[in-house]
């Protein structure tokens, strides 16, 4: 479902990508500005308790993640460097969002328990990405799971926004709890998947 969502908005943002290219803006510049915007929205507004404003700012800059890829394809400049930069800066953006929630709960949210939960989600999100990257560096795959990056990002932004709009403060900690569990399961799934591939390789090697 999220892939179709991404494809739809990718097509919608194509005119913007063409405009940026005509203005001489590079895909890398859009990637960097988008990350800075996400970090600003999360780390400036969330700690002040301005959750809805933070979500709106973050969402606006998250769309840059679709624009830069479109720009690279249209310009024929897609490269391993661009993919590396985009993936690396995504980690900064994710950390800023959950880090902003940590600061929110330490401050106006007044809950060290929920702050610890947000911190756990931040850490597990990084581990989820690391497991995949490390597996791929060894020639194996570690994709999938019940909580991929896009799932985590959409869930926490939507529920944080709705918590303010509907006046239901429990939406945020509830979502963090679900993501904490889902991220843990995803890491375990990926580790077991890599172990299976490793055992299969060992078995194949022995038979040969």
How far lies 186's CA from each of 131, 139, 181, in Å? 10, 20, 9
Domain boundaries, the chain: 2-207
Given this model, what pLDDT does residue 2 score? 45
Q: pLDDT tens for residues 81-117?
A: 888 888 899 899 999 999 999 999 999 999 999 999 9
Band (6; pLDDT cuts 50, 70, 90): low
| CATH class of this structure's domain 2-207 | mainly alpha
Count the neighbouring beta carbons within 10 Å of the beta carbon of residue 184. 17
The reported pTM is: 0.88
Given this model, what pLDDT does residue 73 score? 80
Catalytic residue among 90, 94, 151, 200: 90
90 a catalytic residue: yes
Asked whether residue 67 carries a pLDDT value surpassing 90, the answer given is no
- Of residues 50 and 150, which shows the higher confidence score? 50
Given this model, what pLDDT does residue 1 score? 40
Q: DSSP code of 44?
A: I
Count the neighbouring beta carbons within 10 Å of the beta carbon of residue 202. 10
In this structure, are residues 93 and 156 in contact, taking their beta carbons and an 8 Å threshold? no
In this structure, are residues 138 and 173 in contact, taking their beta carbons and an 8 Å threshold? no
In this structure, are residues 39 and 32 in contact, taking their beta carbons and an 8 Å threshold? no
Q: DSSP code of 146?
A: S
């Amino acid at each position: 479902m999220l892939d179709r969502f991404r494809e739809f908005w990718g097509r919608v943002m194509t005119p913007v990508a063409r405009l940026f290219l005509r203005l001489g803006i590079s895909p890398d510049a859009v990637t960097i500005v988008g990350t800075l915007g996400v970090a600003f929205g999360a780390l400036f507004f969330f700690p002040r308790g301005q959750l809805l404003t933070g979500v709106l700012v973050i969402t606006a800059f998250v769309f840059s993640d679709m624009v830069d890829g479109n720009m690279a394809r249209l310009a024929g400049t897609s490269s391993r460097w661009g993919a590396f930069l985009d993936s690396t800066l995504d980690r900064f953006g994710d950390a800023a969002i959950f880090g902003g929630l940590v600061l929110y709960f330490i401050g106006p949210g007044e809950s060290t328990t929920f702050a610890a939960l947000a911190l756990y989600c931040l850490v597990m999100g990084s581990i989820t990405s690391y497991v995949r990257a490390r597996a791929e560096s060894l020639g194996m795959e570690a994709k999938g799971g019940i909580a991929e990056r896009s799932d985590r990002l959409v869930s926490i932004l939507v529920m944080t926004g709705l918590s303010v709009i509907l006046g239901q403060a429990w939406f945020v900690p509830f979502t963090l709890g679900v993501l904490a569990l889902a991220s843990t399961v995803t890491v375990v799934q990926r580790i077991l998947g890599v172990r299976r591939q490793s055992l299969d390789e060992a078995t194949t090697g022995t038979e040969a």
